[in-house]
Structure 1
């Protein structure tokens, strides 16, 4: 069994927490754009409160452990591993609760290259516990705004985890998918589930727009977020998102394996 101390050491060694790859400049730019209500940073959240850049800096200092000093404008960001561990415990509690009810769940990621394995292991465990892992709108086309303009992607599921693909890249059901912050995939998936008369998820698990888009629509949502993704933490602060785990969301995929084992153990879902 992975102890809290061992996981803390792993977080620091893998740079999932501690000094992370995300730069202070990237994070400050994100806070500035979020404060200006740029949809690229809102990623599905419609904030109820007024969030200035300084407000966001203070929120992220509380939630992640980054510096709250506005004079700190360069270098690498820092995530407090204790905050990551506490959030992982809360994350595991929500996974355990849905497993106990045998309730339907929906998984989705905008970071399939790195995080697909983490979510897929959770999906497998919840399926084994009697939860239906939903895959609505499989293959549906979704028009997403990218830095190259409007591009059509297809909604696909790999091991029960929703992701976006550029048409013609690889055959459906295979890795990897496209990097995306958009809330449109989860909106399309939830609309398809509702229109089809099938079950709606009692919990949505993921990152980026999957969490923010679902939370904004009133679904319980939990996920992972980096220091340059303030939308999820704003959602958590305002109550539209249940749990956000602060960590670097773009390290090697195998580095998330110990987090998977920790969450499954805490949720009493270990094989």
Structure 2
């Protein structure tokens, strides 16, 4: 794909609602901020964040790092992600991935959004592998029981082509916020210091657990997932790219091209 200019990418992000006025409703955002402030583990995404984070401070971070509406009395309706903040973070993420390529680092890639973000991670993995990086695939087949809206179900770590970790169960891949799978991956890698990753490229609990473990971590987060942005504020996450992580997969292709170009991997 032709690499878009910054202006072209910005227009694309707004047109496809990856950024700008997005589909995630304000009331859902505020509910998640409240639950994170209450230290609900599901919303901490595997990080041990400071207990002093309250709803007001979380909103402040989300205004500064994501571009959500700053009015605390805006309780219902649409919310926003600033496309310029998205692109700034994509550029920062590209710089860190480019550094990984130059250093030929060991990398783990994982997504809690297999239906939408997998092609982004696969493109990054192909580019890094071509530059001599090692893409790690630990704990394949590791499984656990997790609570769902339908009761308890088994989930298993599987790897898509190009070494992107995700969860599978009942014959299909699943959205997840859980940190447990990344924690299992890191527990296996910790047995051999030569296999410890230099960089994690991930989202949701996969990213949070990696950042909590002290690994350089870059990834993507929606405006209703405040923990990664608060984690960035605390220095646990290197780069969190704000975007709607649930649009059709093909719409992320221009962003991916721009990211890889910024990394020097296009």
Q: TM-score range by the shorter chain?
A: over 0.9
Q: 1:142: how far off?
A: 2.5
Q: 1:182: how far off?
A: 0.2
Secondary structure of 1:22's counterpart equals: coil
- 1:247 and 2:249 aligned: no
Secondary structure of 1:215's counterpart equals: helix
Q: 1:196: how far off?
A: 5.3
Secondary structure of 2:24's counterpart equals: strand
Structure 1 residues without counterparts, runs of 5 or longer: 171-176
Query: What is the alpha-carbon distance in structure 2 between the residues aligned to residue 233 and residue 150 of structure 1?
Result: 29
- 1:235 and 2:196 aligned: no
Residue matched to 2:166: 163
Query: What is the alpha-carbon distance in structure 2 between the residues aligned to residue 224 and residue 76 of structure 1?
Result: 20
Query: What is the alpha-carbon distance in structure 2 between the residues aligned to residue 191 and residue 142 of structure 1?
Result: 15
Deviations 1:220-269 (A, max 9, x none): 11110011000000100000000000000000000011111001111110
Residue matched to 2:91: 89
Residue matched to 1:132: 134
Q: 1:58: how far off?
A: 1.1
Deviation beyond 6 Å, 4+ runs, structure 1: none
Q: 1:122: how far off?
A: 0.2
State the TM-score, normalizing by the size of structure 1: 0.94
Q: Which moved more, 1:129-138 or 1:47-56?
A: 47-56
Residue matched to 2:114: 112
Query: What is the alpha-carbon distance in structure 1 between the residues aligned to residue 221 and residue 203 of structure 2?
Result: 6
Query: Aligned match of 1:192 in 171, 188, 195?
Result: 188
In structure 2, the CA distance between the partners of 1:107 and 1:66, relative to structure 1 (3 Å rule), is same
Deviations 1:149-196 (A, max 9, x none): 442211001021000001x405xxxxxx11000001110111112225
Alignment of 1:1-271 (within 5 A): 1-159=3-161, 160-166=163-169, 168-169=170-171, 177-195=173-191, 199-270=195-266
Query: What is the alpha-carbon distance in structure 2 between the residues aligned to residue 36 and residue 48 of structure 1?
Result: 11
Query: What is the alpha-carbon distance in structure 1 between the residues aligned to residue 82 and residue 210 of structure 2?
Result: 27
Secondary structure of 2:167's counterpart equals: strand
Query: What is the alpha-carbon distance in structure 2 between the residues aligned to residue 120 and residue 149 of structure 1?
Result: 32
Secondary structure of 2:219's counterpart equals: strand
Q: 1:110: how far off?
A: 0.3
Secondary structure of 1:92's counterpart equals: helix
State the TM-score, normalizing by the size of structure 2: 0.96
Structure 2 residues without counterparts, runs of 5 or longer: none
Q: What root-mean-square deviation, in Å, do the aligned CA atoms of Structure 1 and Structure 2 show?
A: 1.2
Count of paired positions? 263
Residue matched to 1:173: none
Q: 8 Å contact 1:221–1:242 — kept in the other structure?
A: yes
Secondary structure of 2:134's counterpart equals: coil
